[in-house]
């Protein structure tokens, strides 16, 4: 199976020079300096490369205990060795692995203050997983939905907990068809499938926020910005229409792309952005937000269908 890197973001080329310092400076300024995450546990998926790995570094720097999830054991171990985070391995193309790693997290973490659902990918061909779902939709939406559901009891037990979901400014080009989530009836294109999944991320965050309000966890979706990472390295479309233009328009490093995720993970007032979609640090309601992303009934129905697809239709929330 040809796939992309496990960390979500936009771009396919490495920057010539590192700008980790600039990303960390953004986070430190937003967090007010110091170690505001001391005593907190953060779980980051898609964290073996790209903005996920950068987020791990920044969160550890803010004092958090971080558990990182990655698809590649070697890369996950390397990030863990460099940061002191705890690595776990799971392939989100298999929901059985999501269930296994969720059980490991519940055993490992007496508290979960933040869950960052960052794992994602772009896949050049339509592939159906062993679970019967289209691969892009499963990796980018259903796996995170399942993981969140399985960790929800621990999140509810942790005061001030929150869920952060990596979405994309490409969401307005997506279209959620509840009768064709796997694109078996529509023409498959990797870009369209990716846009669908990023739209689903926003709907998921908004419905989770509605269902848990006024308590916790809170939830928000965020576009990290145009980022140069390994994301999409196996996709001709991403290399051609993202990677090359990004070189011309000065895209951010992985560290800069991680900064909005870390800000949401560390901000003292998560309820202020509960159910929100942010374009980096700025909340968006209409500009850069698809019409379907503003449909609460669609969010409710997508939740119900997603729960049925992953076997959580009895989830009490």
For tokens 């796997």, name the residue. Answer: 182
Burial 180-218 (b: 16+ CB within 10 A, else e): ebbbeeeebebbbbbbbbbbbbbbbbbbbbeebeeebbb
> Residue 3 has what pLDDT?
42
Rounded Cα–Cα distance for residues 53 and 75 (Å): 9
Give the tens place of pLDDT for each residue, 246-255.
Answer: 554 546 789 9
Rounded Cα–Cα distance for residues 245 and 157 (Å): 45
Average pLDDT over residues 141-167: 98
149 has pLDDT over 50: yes
The alpha-carbon radius of gyration of the chain (Å, integer) is 17
Catalytic: which of 188, 194, 242, 277?
194
> Residue 241 has what pLDDT?
47
Q: Kindly report the length of the chain.
A: 317
Say what the pTM is: 0.87
Give the tens place of pLDDT for each residue, 218-236.
Answer: 999 999 998 765 544 555 5
Rounded Cα–Cα distance for residues 91 and 69 (Å): 9
* Cβ atoms of 194 and 140 closer than 8 Å: yes
Compute CA distances 55 → 34, 83, 89, 254, 265, whole Å.
17, 11, 17, 8, 10
Q: Examine the residue annotation and report whether 194 is marked as an active-site residue of this protein.
A: yes
Average pLDDT over residues 171-181: 97
Rounded Cα–Cα distance for residues 270 and 116 (Å): 14
> Residue 313 has what pLDDT?
84
Average pLDDT over residues 193-200: 98
Average pLDDT over residues 195-202: 98
> Residue 212 has what pLDDT?
94
292 has pLDDT over 70: yes
Q: Which fold has domain 20-310?
A: Rossmann fold (3.40.50)
Give the tens place of pLDDT for each residue, 20-36.
Answer: 445 555 555 555 568 99
């Amino acid at each position: 199976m040809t796939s992309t890197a496990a960390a979500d973001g936009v771009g396919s080329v490495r920057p010539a020079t590192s700008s980790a310092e600039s990303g960390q400076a953004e986070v430190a300024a937003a967090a007010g300096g110091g170690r505001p995450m001391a005593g907190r546990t953060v779980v980051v998926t898609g964290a073996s490369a790209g903005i996920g790995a950068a987020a791990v570094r920044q969160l550890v720097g803010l004092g958090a205990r971080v558990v990182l999830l990655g698809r590649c054991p070697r890369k996950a171990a390397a990030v863990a060795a460099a940061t002191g985070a705890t690595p776990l391995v799971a392939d989100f193309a298999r929901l059985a692995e999501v269930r296994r790693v969720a059980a490991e997290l519940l055993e490992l973490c007496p508290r979960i203050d933040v869950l960052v659902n960052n794992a994602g990918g772009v896949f050049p061909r339509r592939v159906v997983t062993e679970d019967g779902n289209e691969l892009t939709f499963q990796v980018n939406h259903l796996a995170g939905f399942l993981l969140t559901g399985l960790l929800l009891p621990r999140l509810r037990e942790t005061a001030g907990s929150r869920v952060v979901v990596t979405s994309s400014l490409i969401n307005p080009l997506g279209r959620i068809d509840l009768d064709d989530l796997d694109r078996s009836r529509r023409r498959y294109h990797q870009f369209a499938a990716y846009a669908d999944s990023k739209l689903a991320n926003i709907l998921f965050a908004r419905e989770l926020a509605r269902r848990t309000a006024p308590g916790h966890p809170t939830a928000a979706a965020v576009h990290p910005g145009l980022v140069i990472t390994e994301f999409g390295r196996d996709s001709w479309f991403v290399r051609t229409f993202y990677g090359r233009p990004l070189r011309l328009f000065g895209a951010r490093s992985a560290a800069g792309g991680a900064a909005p995720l870390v800000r949401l993970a560390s901000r003292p007032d998560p309820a202020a952005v509960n159910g929100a979609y942010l374009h980096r640090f700025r909340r968006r309601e209409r500009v850069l937000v698809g019409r379907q992303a503003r449909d609460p009934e669609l969010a409710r129905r997508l939740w119900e269908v997603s729960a049925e697809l992953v076997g959580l239709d009895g989830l009490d929330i």
